[in-house]
Amino acid sequence: MAILPFAIQIAGNMSQYWTETVHKLDPYIPGEQPQDQQYIKLNTNENPYPPSPQVIAAIDQFDMDRLKLYPDPESTVLRQELARHFDVGSDNIFMGNGSDEVLAHCFQAFFKHGKPLLFPDISYSFYPVYCGLYDISYQTIPLTSDFSININDYFIDNGGIIFPNPNAPTSRLLALDQIEVLCEKNASVVIVDEAYIDFGGESAIALTHRFDNLLVTQTFSKSRSLAGLRLGYAVGHADLIEGLNRIKNSFNSYPVDAIAQAAALASVKDQTYMSDCCDRIIKTRNDLTKALLKLGFEVLPSAANFIFVQHPQYSAESLYLSLKDRGVLVRYFNKPRIDNYLRITVGTDSEIATLITTLSHILD
């Protein structure tokens, strides 16, 4: 009796009831969140500081009886505040349940064409997963040898371009004038995923006034310390936003809950707190960089709340495991070109001091 490939798949924890899409998926794996002990968590790029006191006050003052009602499906007031902050119109802003959801909608709204989507070979590992989810063909463009994006490599026929800026996990920034040239010369939608932009980059949002093919995504999870509340958004030409709204209103009319809307509004109104947090993180990042250089690490120039490092004498995997043994979690990617690198989130000064001490012991 011949063994059919499908039978083998069923045996491998699959189900006859799944669609072909599900069978073929290779889901994203977020950074580990072990429950067995207290770790110093420098592995998921969370902000080490709590949200703004204004955010906490807004939640405290929220009328909980209102939870019986559906939230504003359009997050109107929040979008107006963001629009004011970025000097765009509210119809240039799309809100979602975290920027991962926003990105998912973007892939479905703009990237499924006959031509391949382009993104860097080293980049946010969710991008190829979205491509699997929506059956989008893609082509990865290698970063240069110093892990930079060279925009000239993207001037080929394509169905869209996406990259994080600063890039993850490399932490390197692409200059705004390069993004400008890219948008000008490229015929398809360019998405700049600015999850980490507040930690040292200049946003491309101002360019959305000039380029109707540019969409910029940002998140409340990093610089605004609200990963727990799930808020992300996209900024761009009203036609692009309308495309996202059509997807959203065919998926879930009410993606952002009422408390999250109120909290995010308070966060946008308190820019000082956010920029103070970012300044502290940038200062710690500089101190961390210096300390690691002293220990013999090579550190890529970072514009993010994490750094990307390797050590010429020690394998990244062994360092990752040794750190984990000693209660410090960093991120290790067992992937081509970066399998000797560690991504380290910039924590508090005290967390970073512990990391450095621990690393010194390991290297001894």
Beta strand 160-164 with 190-193 is parallel
Is 32 a binding residue for a copy of itself by CB under 8 A? The answer is no
- Mark residues 103-122: x for contact with a copy of itself by CB under 8 A, - for none: -x---xxxxxx---------
- Mark residues 181-200: x for contact with a copy of itself by CB under 8 A, - for none: -------xx-----------
Q: Which of 49, 54, 176, 326 binds a copy of itself (CB under 8 A)?
A: 49
Q: Tokens at residue 112, please?
A: 């499924």
Q: How far is the CB of 362 from a copy of itself (least distance, A)?
A: 26
In DSSP notation, 281-332 reads HHHHHHHHHHHHHHTT-EE----SSEEEEE-SSS-HHHHHHHHHHTTEE-EE
Is 352 a binding residue for a copy of itself by CB under 8 A? The answer is no
Q: How far is the CB of 253 from a copy of itself (least distance, A)?
A: 5
Q: Which of 11, 13, 145, 312 binds a copy of itself (CB under 8 A)?
A: 13
331-332 sheet: strands from edge to edge: 298-299, 306-310, 342-345, 331-332
Query: Which among 48-56, 142-150, 302-310, 338-346 is the span making contact with a copy of itself, rule CB under 8 A?
Result: 48-56
Is 56 a binding residue for a copy of itself by CB under 8 A? The answer is yes
Nearer to a copy of itself by Cβ, of 26 and 177: the residue is 26
Q: Write out the binding residues for a copy of itself, residues 193-232 only, by CB under 8 A.
A: 212-213, 221, 225-230
CA angle (120, 123, 128) in 5-degree steps: 85
CA dihedral 151, 157, 163, 166 (to 10 degrees): 10
Q: Write out the binding residues for a copy of itself, residues 66-105 only, by CB under 8 A.
A: 66-73, 97-98, 100-101, 104
Q: Distance between CA atoms of 115 and 307, rounded to whole angstroms?
A: 34
Nearer to a copy of itself by Cβ, of 8 and 175: the residue is 8
Amino acid at the residue 133: L
Q: Distance between CA atoms of 45 and 305, rounded to whole angstroms?
A: 7
Q: Which of 139, 144, 253, 275 binds a copy of itself (CB under 8 A)?
A: 253
DSSP code of residue 26: -
Query: Which among 199-207, 249-257, 291-299, 335-343 is the span making contact with a copy of itself, rule CB under 8 A?
Result: 249-257
